[in-house]
């Protein structure tokens, strides 16, 4: 639902979606997530822990909108990618300096 043709086909509806809350912070978070998924603004979940991102991305209770879930999924991906790049760079540096990988 959060990727591919299914998401794109329902994008207009997702952009109008509001969380099941009247809390001003929750409403603002949803607005910022929609802006982010539309290419403007920073990901509102940037820097959140992977555990919290997973809770948001996989939530189906209506607490979070599709765009919030998508933004959380993208942040989790970005964090994973950054970690992988770091691990590969460290392994490569070790190999270049010692000829070994541990």
Residue with more model confidence, 6 or 44: 44
Residue in this structure with the two tokens 């760079």, named with its chain if needed: 89
How many helices (H) and strands (E) would you count in the chain?
A: 5, 0
Average pLDDT over residues 21-34: 96
Average pLDDT, the chain: 94
Q: Which long-range contacts (CB under 8 A, 24 or more apart) does 23-32 make?
A: 29/68, 30/64, 30/65, 30/67, 30/68
> Tens digits of per-residue pLDDT, 48-77?
999 999 999 999 898 999 999 999 999 999
Query: Residue 50 has what pLDDT?
Result: 96
Would you list the domain boundaries of the chain?
A: 4-98
Q: Which residues contact 28 (CB under 8 A, 6 or more apart)?
A: none
Q: In this prediction, what percent of the chain has a pLDDT beyond 90?
A: 81
Which token pair is 67?
A: 């765009």
> Tens digits of per-residue pLDDT, 38-48?
999 999 999 99
> Tens digits of per-residue pLDDT, 81-95?
999 999 999 999 999
């Amino acid at each position: 639902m959060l990727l591919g043709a299914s998401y794109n086909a329902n994008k207009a509806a997702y952009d109008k979606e509001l969380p099941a809350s009247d809390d001003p912070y929750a409403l603002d978070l949803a607005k910022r997530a929609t802006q982010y998924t539309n290419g403007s603004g920073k990901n509102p979940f940037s820097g959140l822990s992977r555990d919290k991102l997973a809770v948001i991305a996989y939530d189906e209770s209506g607490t979070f909108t599709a765009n919030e879930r998508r933004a959380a999924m993208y942040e989790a991906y970005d964090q994973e990618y950054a970690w992988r790049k770091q691990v590969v760079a460290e392994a490569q540096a070790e190999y270049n300096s010692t000829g070994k990988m541990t």
